[in-house]
Every structure is written in C-alpha cells, then in structure tokens.
Chains A and B, each alone.
Chain A
C-alpha cells in the first residue's frame, strides 16, 4: 500500500453537553475500499457521519476533537458544502429527492448545465437556460455506471423505492470529484434482490477508485461487501477487523457486548413464572409508520416483566401502540382469555391495561396543563374518578390535588407544586408524570415504551426501580419496550426480540451477548436452526 489513505480519521471524540458520545475513534479507508461501520442504535454512527459532513449540529454544540485527513491532506470540514467540494458524497437513509422532478433534474439539481440565452447576456448567470440534452447525457452516464436501466426523464414520484435509492447514488456519482461515498443503511428499505444489485453497484464504484463508508444493520451484507469492518459500541471503537478474519456471530457479540454485573440483573429464573398467560397476541399487525408490525405472536405471563427489544424501525414500538388502539391494527389479542377489541383505545383502557407512550410530549402529556390534571385526566374520562358525587358531577379539585401531592412524593417528581405546567418539567419528571397517570388507572397490565429515552441517569434508575417495585409489590404485569438492551436485561424476566415486524425469538436476560446480537440482526435462526424458546 503506497501513499496516504483516502480517508483517515484520527482520534475523533465528541461531547454533547458533557456527555461523551464518541471516544477516540481512529480508522482509515484506502482508495477503492469498502469500510463498514456496525453498531447498535446510539453507538455513535450518525454522530460520526455528521462530523465527517460538517453538519451544523456538530459545530453548534462545540465542535469535536481529532483530525480528519483526505488523501493525506488535513481536512477542516465546517459545512456540508465544504464536504461536497472535497468530494464526499452521502446517500441518506431517508430519500432526499424532489418527487415532482424528473430523475435527470434530481441528479443534476443545483449543478445544472446551462447555456447562454438572450436574458443571461443582460442579467447574468441566473438567467441562463438549462442545457437539457447535456444534462440528460450526464444523468444517463451515471445511471449506466450503476446499472439503472430506466428512462432518465421519468418523474421520481411513483418510482419503486429500490430505484429511488439508485437515483440517489447516481446523483452522488454525477459529482465528478467524488472520492468518498457514504451509504447510510441503503438496504434498509430494499428487497433482497434490490439489495444484491446495490452490492454489485458498490463493486463497480470501488472499481472506479471510489471509497465507500457503508452503514448497515444487515450483517450478511456487511460480510459480503466490505474490506474492513469497524464495530462501534457506546461511542467506542470496539474492534477493527476484516471479513476473512471474523464471523457474523463474533460481530454480533462485539456489537452488543456489555458488562452487566449479575447483581444488576433482577430478572427471575423461568421456573418462578408459571405458564399462566395474561395476554395472548396472535398475528398482530400494526400500521405504525416507521415501526410496522407484521404478524406478531407473543404471550405475556401473569406477573412478569417482559421486555421487547430490537433495532429501531423493526416494529418493537408498534406492538404496544397497536394493542392500545393508537395506530390501526389487525389480529387477535386476548386478555385473560377474553378477546380485546382492537382500534379502540377505550376498550383497552376498560380492560385494565394502561400505556406509557414513547412519544412523551406528543401523546403522553397535556403540556399546557398542570401536573395534577395530567395525572387524573385519563382516570376522569375512563373511570369517572375525581368527580364530586351528586347529579351534576364536576371536577373534585381537592381529591385531585391530594392524589397528585402523594404521587409527587412517591415518584419524587421535582416541581414547584401540583399546579405547575408539565411543559416546564425536565424530561425525567415528565416521564414520572406519565407513569403516575398510568398507575392511577389501577391497571393489571402496563405497557411502558422507551421509559428512559432522553432522561438523565438518576431519573432513569428511579423509574426502573419503581417499575420493579410495582411489579413485585402489586403484582403488576409489565411489558417494557426499549431500545436499550442493557436496560431490558437489567429488569426484565424475559426479552422478546422483534426483527422486521415479526417476533424473532425470546431470550433470557442471562443469555449471551452473541445471541442477542444475532437475534437483533435477524441471523439467529441461520446459526441455531431451531425455533425460538
């Protein structure tokens, strides 16, 4: 290997408000190489890409430490425009295409080829005409390079998603100076055959000397496509390896691996929980955008804490939202043997189920109302509590305030009093209000989604401890959905892993990191060849 690497990132660190999210990453990619970045959600992949692209979010939060070299030259990237000038291209997870424009127009957007017109001679450049034939030829060339054989003048609206992905790549390729291409989960929305085509296109690109940074959750693709694999976990670079030197299950293990002290785990052995099911879910589909559930079968044991885990977008969030009637769903859900009417929030609430939503500010709170009213609002409507007796029943302020004061004490909600607006509370305290609201419905089955997302460590522990306390003292069955595997493993009795909208399997918190990693990547059955527990 002669000469400098195409991209070298040296000792990259980043803090957000004192929270270290990247801890000294260093790696390099050579010309024409594919380097894959793998890691769970929140491992730091996006932050790393934001740094590489000079996104404003990085610079508005104090910049980063470390150095970036492109072909041996130190690059000081302060904005996405500079990144583009340096020849870094990016294909986003969400499509950044204008639906009403043709493929050619999208590919050449802001880099249009122009020719002189009468007006431009007078008014200058902005009045030039587009040279459409030249633009078409350019677009055609880029599309041919990656084997996209459709008409370059088709509008983007209505193209299959696979084609849109290719149009994005063609757009990056059309930038003549492109040296490094970042593909952020390009295959997430593709069918398998489209994904195969994409991998082939990647080979063509590397053949032309373009280097690729590839981000994917599909480990088999990573193994097939990359020259180098870098594993990230919690902002740390855990390993740098090559496909020939490793295996999928080794990567899975590296991705997940956390040291969890056995003392931290409170899950009970399977023998302690009887096969007495409080909830039986059969063939549940939920049309929740971005978290689609496609036929889940799952049983919840009475008195357990069941975790639902999986990567973002695989559908774990959709399960509770579907059962609680917040998104259109279909299937058969039985509680204590009795079928629950779906698509009706009231029916679920009437059947002693309660829900703490992952969308705290959007669904979970009345932001412009007081803490006390937030806590009692659902109970008033569903159960007619906190109303004065008599013919005309109105809000019983005394009972409301009394209860809220108790809850504030019990859950240690830091506030100026029960009358404070919830908008003014911190994330952790808002979450406690949501939990209080669910508890006073006196449910026997509680769904909690992402209970600790975006809240500080102290509040996190308090909330998890309180959930365990509710479970042990009151016998409340809890179904907790979380993106944080460590959190699930610390309090759950069993953990169901969802992959591509289906149940991949159920693990115990004590199972190996490797098994969790494989299940979340959808590779478990290929290795074990057996049905889930």
Chain B
C-alpha cells in the first residue's frame, strides 16, 4: 500500500513536496508575511496553468512537450498589443486579445506542425531552436511594426514597441480581481482560478472526443494508429495547432495577471518553464494528464514564490533566479534520461 502510494506520487514529486514544505516552515519561522506568499502562489499557479496545459496535446500526440511554444506565445502578444493599439479597455480588451490570439496561434501551430512532421524523433531539439529563432525574428517585428499607441512605443523617436508594456487601466489583473476575496490575509484570485478550471474542463472534454482520443492513439503507437485507419501526420498537426493556440491564449491570461506585456526576449525561455512544470507534475515525454499539469504548475511556481523571500532572509542574497534555473533545467534533464512510462492518459 505504502509502496503503491509512493510509486504513484513518484520520488521526484515527493522530494519537491518535502522541500516546499520545508521552505514554508522556514518562511513561517522567519516571520515572513504568509498571507502574501500564499496569494502569490495561487496567482502564479493560475497565470501559468494554461501555458502548462498547452503541453498536453503535443505530448499526447507523440510530438513531445511543445518546445516551440514561444511561437504561440508571440501570437498572444500580438493579440494583446493590438487590443491596446485599438484603445480597448477591460473585458473588451481581454476578449479581443484572446479572440485575435487564438486564430493567430492556430496558424502558427499549423506551420510549426508541418515542420514537426518533417523532423520526427527530434521534435524537442528542433522545437527549442525554432522557438529561439522565432523570438529573434519577432524582435525585428516589434521594432518595425507600425504601432502608434503612445502607451506602447518608445517615448523617444516614436518608433518600435517598448520592452515592457504596462497594462495599468487596460486589463491589469482583470481576472484576478473578478469576484476575488480575502481569507486570513490570503487573497483568492477567483476569476483567474475559474478561468483555469474552465480551460481544464474544455481540454478534458476535447481529449476525450473522437479526435482527442485519435490524437493519443497516434502518440501512443503510430503503427497501431495507421492500422486503425488514422492519418498520423494529420493528428500531430492538429495537436500542434491546439497547443500553440492554447499558448497564445495562455500568455494573454499570464500578462493580464502580471500587469505587463513582456516583448522581445521575454518569451525565449517560457517553453522551458512550462515543460519543466509538467514534468515535475509526473508527466513523461509520451504521456501527460491534466492532473499532472496542475500539480506540476503548482509545485514549480509555489517553489519559486517562496524560495526568493526565504533565501533572501537566510542567505542575505538573491539566489531565487539561480534556484529557478537549477530546478527547471534539472527536472528537464531528469525527465529526458528516465525511461519509465507515465500514467494512463485518460
């Protein structure tokens, strides 16, 4: 029984959970403001979850975690900047940004999927460099694009977008504040959590439709899929489309909660954080579930949130960024080297 439980949880998750518990205890004993810390944990969980959920379709379709997520993220950034350019505010701006992001992300995912189908077996390497390249290409776009809104262009010269665009008064924390309330000093970002739940339900339904099931058959065994009359490339392409569209919508949710749109180099490593989060959650490179994505997102972000203040007090220096790099890269390394199979997808 104990062994069963341990197997299900997995040693890495056990270690990370214990480490997290240790940090929470330490934060408590240092007398840090726990209410703020827990609020931040919940917020970071909510703002990152859709980006992590976006990994599920490609993993399930056998293309591995979507290292090309920045491609989708950039489409989301275009949507968000367009909303500001058109001087939209509040939910209008938010839904406009989402509405533009998703189709753009889908197109990006389609192109990216065409590429993935040509490099089977090397999706992760190719995806990573694809993401890096597209981020660099888009740096030129942000400089050259004919945006006019004074909130976004460089104050001098009037050409090109700033590195960070402030969303104050546009859609800053729009979802976070929706129906939010405070218990024992912990602010619950109700709207954000509801949006996350909605995304989970939609993804859950999608993965159980005939199309979603076909996707996971393709990922599980392409030969089996062919023998069942399925077009393997088609479903891999579709997975890439869905994943990038989710990434595009995901960054809009992320930005509104963060309060800034980060352009230029910012999306560079976002895929890596999402990949490490879902792998921390117990997903393998072949199989991933929504639960794993959520657990992983929570552990990964909770750790980041609490590590900084604790480290500051305990060591008198800022090592949180170093911690984050060690954890995220270490987990990716761990996942790439292990051969065991993940849990059941459904």
Is the CB–CB distance between A393 and B210 below 8 Å?
A: yes
Per the 8 Å Cβ criterion, residues 221-266 of B in contact with A are 221, 223-224, 226-230
For the complex formed, measure the closest distance between the CB of B7 and the CB atoms of chain A, giving whole angstroms.
Answer: 13
| CA distance in complex: A363, B226 (Å) | 9
Q: Which 3 A-B pairs have the closest CB atoms?
A: A346-B229, A394-B208, A366-B220
For the complex formed, measure the closest distance between the CB of B4 and the CB atoms of chain A, giving whole angstroms.
Answer: 12
Contacts of A423 in B (CB 8 A): 341
For the complex formed, measure the closest distance between the CB of A465 and the CB atoms of chain B, giving whole angstroms.
Answer: 25
* Interface range, B side: 20 to 34
Does A387 count as interface, using CB distance less than 8 angstroms? yes
For the complex formed, measure the closest distance between the CB of B72 and the CB atoms of chain A, giving whole angstroms.
Answer: 24
| CA distance in complex: A419, B216 (Å) | 16
Is the CB–CB distance between B227 and A355 below 8 Å?
A: yes
Is the CB–CB distance between A369 and B344 below 8 Å?
A: yes
Contacts of A377 in B (CB 8 A): 213, 217, 224, 228
Contacts of B82 in A (CB 8 A): none
Contacts of A378 in B (CB 8 A): 227-229
Q: Which residue of B lies closest to A378 (CB)?
A: B228
**Interface core residue of B224, B341, B342 (most chain A CB under 10 Å):** B224
| CA distance in complex: A369, B225 (Å) | 13
Q: Which of B213, B286, B342 contacts A381 (CB 8 A)?
A: B213
| CA distance in complex: A365, B287 (Å) | 16
Q: Which residue of B lies closest to A368 (CB)?
A: B341
For the complex formed, measure the closest distance between the CB of B207 and the CB atoms of chain A, giving whole angstroms.
Answer: 9
Contacts of B228 in A (CB 8 A): 345, 349, 377-378, 381-382
Number of A-B contacts (CB under 8 A): 86
Is the CB–CB distance between A381 and B220 below 8 Å?
A: no
Does B52 count as interface, using CB distance less than 8 angstroms? no
**Interface core residue of A355, A359, A363, A397 (most chain B CB under 10 Å):** A363
Is the CB–CB distance between B229 and A382 below 8 Å?
A: yes
A-B contact pairs, 12 of them (CB 8 A): A345-B226, A345-B227, A349-B229, A357-B227, A364-B224, A366-B221, A368-B220, A368-B287, A369-B220, A377-B217, A384-B210, A395-B346
* Contact A395:B220 (CB < 8 A) given known A349-B229, A381-B214, A381-B228: no
Is the CB–CB distance between B224 and A370 below 8 Å?
A: no
Does B205 count as interface, using CB distance less than 8 angstroms? yes
* Contact A392:B227 (CB < 8 A) given known A366-B217, A367-B221: no
Does A326 count as interface, using CB distance less than 8 angstroms? yes
Is the CB–CB distance between A394 and B209 below 8 Å?
A: yes
Contacts of B213 in A (CB 8 A): 377, 380-381, 395
Contacts of B205 in A (CB 8 A): 392, 394
Does A83 count as interface, using CB distance less than 8 angstroms? no
| CA distance in complex: A393, B208 (Å) | 8
Q: Which residue of B lies closest to A370 (CB)?
A: B344
Does A75 count as interface, using CB distance less than 8 angstroms? no
Does B305 count as interface, using CB distance less than 8 angstroms? no
* Contact A362:B229 (CB < 8 A) given known A368-B342, A394-B208: no
| CA distance in complex: A182, B227 (Å) | 40
Q: Which residue of A lies closest to B216 (CB)?
A: A369
Is the CB–CB distance between B287 and A373 below 8 Å?
A: no
| CA distance in complex: A241, B220 (Å) | 53
Q: Which residue of A lies closest to B214 (CB)?
A: A381
Q: Which residue of B lies closest to A355 (CB)?
A: B227
* Contact A363:B224 (CB < 8 A) given known A368-B342, A377-B213: yes
| CA distance in complex: A325, B223 (Å) | 11
Q: Which residue of B lies closest to A367 (CB)?
A: B221
Contacts of A364 in B (CB 8 A): 224, 227
Interface residues as binary, A339-350 with B (CB distance below 8 Å gives 1, 0 otherwise): 000001111111
Is the CB–CB distance between A392 and B226 below 8 Å?
A: no
Interface residues as binary, B4-15 with A (CB distance below 8 Å gives 1, 0 otherwise): 000000000000
Given contacts A373-B346, A394-B208, 16 further A-B contacts (CB under 8 A): A325-B226, A350-B229, A363-B223, A363-B224, A366-B217, A366-B220, A366-B224, A368-B287, A377-B228, A378-B228, A381-B210, A381-B214, A384-B210, A392-B205, A393-B209, A421-B344
Is the CB–CB distance between B223 and A362 below 8 Å?
A: yes
Does A9 count as interface, using CB distance less than 8 angstroms? no
| CA distance in complex: A415, B284 (Å) | 24
| CA distance in complex: A373, B208 (Å) | 12
Per the 8 Å Cβ criterion, residues 284-341 of B in contact with A are 286-287, 341
Is the CB–CB distance between A419 and B210 below 8 Å?
A: no
